[in-house]
Amino acid sequence: MASITSYFLIPIILLIVISIYAKQFAKTKLYFVAKPLTMLFIIALPLLEIREDYSPYAYLVITGLIFSLLGDLFLLYPDKYFANGLYSFLVAHIFYIIAFNKNVNEYSIGIIFIVLIYILIVSKTLVPKLGGMKYPVLFYIFIISAMLYSALNMDLQMDGISYVGIGAILFAISDTVLAFNKFYKKFSFAEPIVLSTYFVAQLMFAMTI
């Protein structure tokens, strides 16, 4: 990674810390600025290295990051636009899934089994609490599980864990904690967990471009 890109990580990390602080201590105005600004900086990260062209993988991941930013903007008003945010992240994950399967020609049954266990545990726990959001949330669980599988399967073919696999695991943790906190039971440190894992996951994806 070029030195200018490495230095760009410093403001990103600072913005992540500010976003977590603002959310945890109800600094609403600061949070409304810091959270989308963090994603803008993460999107800008792979664009700092000027290239003549970007690979199809790069375009797919960048598009996924942009839809994630859109989801973040909707979720600044969760009572009003939670469903819009959910659908934005669905689209983001679809782009990530396509990207992570771009050069894959083998699929691991073992990883499918692990991901299915995750789907069953999360679905069985949340379904009684979802109400009218049952089917959108279940579909979202399926999509993020497909993204998780695609990332881990891609890493398996590369014979080792990479930013893609780490990012996907962190993203799954973030969304799982978010869902449990919203629909199952609220707990005080949910937001720091959700935001830290989410931002680092997106940063990992951006660093693979």
pLDDT at position 15 is 97
pLDDT at position 182 is 87
Comparing 184 with 151, the larger pLDDT belongs to 151
Find the mean pLDDT for residues 173-201.
Answer: 92
pLDDT at position 160 is 80
pLDDT at position 188 is 82
* 3 φ/ψ angles, rounded to the nearest 5 degrees: -60, -40
pLDDT at 44 over 90: yes
pLDDT at 180 over 70: yes
117 band by pLDDT with thresholds 50, 70 and 90: very high
User: What's the mean pLDDT when you consider all of the chain?
Assistant: 91
pLDDT at position 4 is 64
Q: How far is CA 27 from CA 2, 20, 34, 65, 140, in A?
A: 35, 10, 10, 25, 29
SS (H, E, C) the chain: CCHHHHHHHHHHHHHHHHHHHHHHCCCHHHHHHHHHHHHHHHHHHHHCCCCCCCCHHHHHHHHHHHHHHHHHHHCCCHHHHHHHHHHHHHHHHHHHHHHHCCCCCCCCHHHHHHHHHHHHHHHHHHHHHHHHHHHHHHHHHHHHHHHHHHHHHHHHHCCCCCHHHHHHHHHHHHHHHHHHHHHHCCCCCHHHHHHHHHHHHHHHHHCCC
Tokens of 201: 């996951």
Comparing 83 with 145, the larger pLDDT belongs to 145
pLDDT at position 50 is 67
pLDDT at 204 over 90: yes
pLDDT at 2 over 80: no
pLDDT at 42 over 80: yes
pLDDT at position 1 is 44
